[in-house]
Amino acid sequence: MHEYTVVDELIGALVPRLCEHPGRVRAVVVRKGELRILSDHALVSAFEILARGTRLEGAELVVETVATVVSCAACGYRGSTGRLVEEGDHFSIPVLSCPRCGSEVRVDAGRELYVDHVTLSDDSPADG
């Protein structure tokens, strides 16, 4: 349920930044690192509800996933991780360990959560 808190922060931060951009907001495209514990479905439904009465009402929230990238100080590897795949349990998650030498790694991508862009059409919301 914390998706509502996240979307509330998103709307609060985004609306003032769109002041200088007239037009109807059609889509808000968010990029979400795959390590985030956030349900896309819950984000979209929270957005639908919390955007009501704001400039973003009626816009579509699009959530794109960012794959994990790690770097290893021990061997210099940088790239994707190995994955733990359990078909029976329907998950495939990155294992935060160097796939080349097995050392601890730094996460360079996979934890972000940001608005990439907003698509506007040139009609105003008042045009219906």
Partner 1 sequence: MHDVRFTGEDILARQLELAEANYRRLREKHVRAISVLGAIGSGKTTLVEQAIDRLQGRGLRVAAIAADSAGDDDHRRFIARGAKSVNVNTQDDCHLDAHRVDHALDELPLEDVDVLFIENVGNLICPADFPLGADAEVVVISVTEGDDMVRKHPKIFAQTDFVVVNKVDLAAAVGVDPKRIVGDYSAVNPHGKLFLTSLRRGEGLDELLNALGLGCTNTQW
Q: Contact, 68 vs 35, CB < 8 A?
A: yes
Q: Contact, 103 vs 73, CB < 8 A?
A: yes
Is 109 one of the binding residues for partner 1 (CB under 8 A)? no
* Closest separation in Å from C-beta 17 to partner 1: 7
The residue range among 30-38, 44-52, 53-61, 70-78 that interacts with partner 1, by the rule CB under 8 A, is: 30-38
Question: Total residues contacting partner 1 (rule CB under 8 A)?
Answer: 39
The residue range among 6-14, 51-59, 69-77 that interacts with partner 1, by the rule CB under 8 A, is: 6-14
